[in-house]
A and B are shown apart, each in its own frame.
Chain A
Amino acid sequence: MSLAERMLRIDRRIIFLVIGLCTLVPLLFPVGLPIKISSEVRGVYDYIESLPEGSVFLLSLDFDPASKPELYPQAIAILRHAFKKNLRVVAMTLWVSGTGLADQILTQTAKEAGKENGKDYVFLGWSPGGSAVILNMGQDLYNAFPADYGGKATKGLPVLAGVQNLRDVTYAVSLGAGNPGVEAWYVFGKDKYKFELGGGCTGVIAPGLYPLLRSGQINGLIGGLRGAAEYETLIGQKGKAVAGMDAQSATHLAIIVLVAICNIFYFSLRRQQRRQGG
């Protein structure tokens, strides 16, 4: 077997090792390259920045622990921004397996910002039905969530003063890892109840949401870990996403180099075979 053939049939475990090292080493020895801000992420940031104090901000954390690496930093960054702007934060989730994670994220950031549950923010929890929950909230929020995650009655909470349904929400952002996610919030939420909507998602779903972004159906899109890193840079509080960008950079470069090597050997083998055939 020639070198080219051996390289093309290389054991996958060697590739796994390369990727493992490219992920681990930058996390242990970070470099901290500058991050350029995209217009997609700026769309969400600028809109939240423009909201007056006391505006109702709905954050739907529609992801489970599997998508935590990408969406957890996004959620933390957005909540930090919302609390800094003294917005009234209403959080919820459409994914049952993400309820614990969502509660933990909200509690952690609220504690950091010195915010009070019921007065500055509320976690509504999860309700079965997916898009049916959005429709229900659009009609009557208190019907969809009669109590918050802690069991307290939602009607009468200071944070929900003047909020009857989704029409009273100033801005909603869905951080989605699949379905139900950003698309469901547009189709069953914004299209019917006319609130402004932004989106956040995993890197793999992001390209599929660009049509919604380009047509103005969502006013911004935070895509993957890169989007989270951009948002952290915008709010001036660097966290897990920025730290992860070095690892992501190294991994991307490693894959590019591997693909280049693979193509070099592929063409070399093809030339060999043509010479032998000719």
Chain B
Amino acid sequence: MLPRLLILSIMTCVPAFLPAMAQAQTMPQQLRVIDTPSDGGGSLTVLWASSPSDSATTKYQVLLHEAGPPQDSSAWKVVAEFPANTRYVRESKSAWWTRSGDPNDHQFVIKNGKGVELNSDQHYAVSVASVNGQERLIAPPVVASPEPNWMNWNQINNLVLALMFGAIVFYAINLAKRKEMFLRRIPGLDAVDEAIGRATELGKPVLYMTGAHDLHDPSTIAAAVILGRVAKKAASYETELLVPHREPITMAVCQEITKQAYLEAGKPDLFKDDANFFITSDQFSYTAAVDGIMLRRKPAANFFMGSYFAESLLLTETGASTGAIQIAGTDSDHQLPFFVTTCDYTLIGEELYAASAYLSKEPIQIGTLRGQDLGKAFILSVIGIGTLLATVGVLTGNGWAQPLLDLFKDLK
């Protein structure tokens, strides 16, 4: 009994003391070749099971042949060669919900380029060979053909989140139509009336700019809405309004808005067609022209609403030199420092959108703002919870949180 036990223990323990010799090399097993999902065609995904003999010294070769398998093994085209302990499904950059195969399986994606050309709807024979020195074992080939797909499932999380956000915005707009929503007062708005009043007292005009972008930009739309309010006040105080433009379509829209504002103020006869005028779309030509207007006409109030670029400081500093009261509102964060230092009041980023919503009291504007706030709250929560989960995952060495975090990743 004792000798048998002894022999058994020796047989069990000896391999542990033997140098780490490569285990007997085996042919790649469970080879599958599929059309790469969620792509435009021209790609095949090769999957095969990992083997105990996988190591840094052995290699895998991915082999390709057009039409069917070749008669002679030398006709195979070697598409890739890599160490056998690499290229696993779990290392793949695609989304976990589109991955095929066991995480411990090997995976290689054959793509067009670098001497390989795969045409959609054409058949190809694919195999994998395991190589150890001179020895090469080729797995039985599999025939497959790449196909273009109609949906990129890797981006389904992106689509769902976008649709969710859209739904939130529309829900908030509907809610705003049915009941009143609270919007905190923007301090800069009080200054608007003060500025126009000052211009009236001094008998000088009010200068209003709508920014560099066209009406596709939310900041220009917000600027146009605030122009309506400023125009209405200027009309009621009978103060001259000057609105130089950089974009002809914006000018046309602002003309209508100004006309409407004068009508609502009960002063349609005071409305001037050329209150809104087009100068040029060139950045510095426009700036030079407006600087000239500021120095000659010396407006008492300058409004800089919308998107601005390098011209912002040139405009505001010239305005400041004439002693005008200046109010700015922009979402161009790179110009904010210049506006903040040279203007009396600045509406920063979304305060501009909020100001236009506050002034217009339109449910659409207010609802959109509320929807955006809800979206931001969601993102903030995801960032907070995600950071916590990622930290716990790293500390515990566990990857259980990763699938949840991947839901918010941009994966293609």
**Chain A residues within 8 Å of B, Cβ to Cβ:** 12, 66, 97, 167-168, 178, 202, 204-205, 207-208
- Chain B residues lying within 8 Å of A12, measured Cβ to Cβ, are 321
**Beyond A97-B282, A202-B310, A207-B334, 14 additional pairs, beta carbon < 8 A:** A12-B321, A66-B283, A66-B284, A66-B310, A167-B113, A168-B113, A178-B309, A178-B310, A204-B310, A204-B334, A204-B335, A205-B334, A208-B333, A208-B334
A to B CB contacts below 8 Å, 17 in the list:
A12-B321, A66-B283, A66-B284, A66-B310, A97-B282, A167-B113, A168-B113, A178-B309, A178-B310, A202-B310, A204-B310, A204-B334, A204-B335, A205-B334, A207-B334, A208-B333, A208-B334
Interface residues on B, range: 10 to 19
CB contacts under 8 Å to A, within B307-337, are: 309-310, 321, 333-335
Residues of B within 8 A of A208 (CB): 333-334
Q: DSSP class of A's interface residues: helix, strand, loop or mixed?
A: helix
Q: How many A-B residue pairs have CB under 8 A?
A: 17
At the interface, is chain B mostly helix, strand, loop or mixed? loop
Inter-chain contacts of A207 with B (CB < 8 A)? 334
How many angstroms from the CA of A97 to the CA of B285 in the assembled complex? 13
State in angstroms the CA–CA spacing of A12 and B322 once bound together: 12
CB distance from B157 to the nearest CB of A (A): 15
A12, A178, A202 — most chain B CB neighbours (10 Å):
A178
Report which B residues bind A (CB closer than 8 A).
113, 282-284, 309-310, 321, 333-335
Chain A residues near B282 (CB-CB < 8 A): 97
Bound CA span A208–B333, Å: 8
- B220 to chain A: closest CB distance in Å? 14
A12 CA / B321 CA spacing, docked (Å): 9
Chain B's closest residue to A12 (CB) is B321
Residue of B nearest to A201 (CB): B334
In the complex, how many angstroms separate the beta carbon of B311 from the nearest chain A beta carbon? 10
Nearest CB on A from B163, distance (A):
20
User: Could you tell me the distance between the alpha carbons of A66 and B287 in the complex, rounded to whole angstroms?
Assistant: 13
Contacts of B284 in A (CB 8 A): 66
Q: Which residues of B contact A168 (CB under 8 A)?
A: 113
6 closest residue pairs by CB, A with B = A208-B334, A178-B309, A205-B334, A204-B334, A208-B333, A66-B284
Least distance between A203 CB and chain B CB atoms (Å): 10
Nearest Cβ distance between residue A16 and chain B, in whole angstroms?
11
CB neighbours (8 Å) of B335 from chain A are: 204
CA distance A207 to B333 in the complex (A): 10
Closest to B321 in A: A12
- The residue of chain B having its C-beta at the shortest distance from the C-beta of A208 within the complex is B334
Tell me how far the C-beta of A166 lies from the nearest C-beta in chain B, rounded to whole angstroms.
13
Cβ distance B338 to chain A, nearest Cβ, rounded Å: 9
Looking at the assembled complex, report how far the CB atom of B162 sits from the nearest CB atom of chain A, in whole angstroms.
Answer: 15
State the Cβ distance, A15 to closest chain B Cβ, in Å: 11
Interface centre among A97, A204, A205 (most CB of B within 10 A): A204
Q: How far is the CB of B225 from chain A (nearest CB, A)?
A: 23
Write out the residue numbers on chain B whose beta carbons fall within 8 Å of the beta carbon of A66: 283-284, 310
CB distance from B32 to the nearest CB of A (A): 26
Give the nearest-CB partner of B283 in chain A: A66
A161 to chain B, nearest CB (A): 14
Q: How far is the CA of A12 from the CA of B283 in the complex (A)?
A: 25
Residue of A nearest to B312 (CB): A204
C-alpha gap A167/B283 in the complex (Å): 34
Taken together as a complex, chains A and B put the C-alpha atoms of A97 and B310 apart, in Å, by: 16
Q: Which residues of chain A come closer than 8 Å to B333, judged between CB atoms?
A: 208
CA A57 to CA B335, docked complex, whole Å: 32
Report the minimal beta-carbon distance from A130 to chain B, rounded to whole angstroms: 12
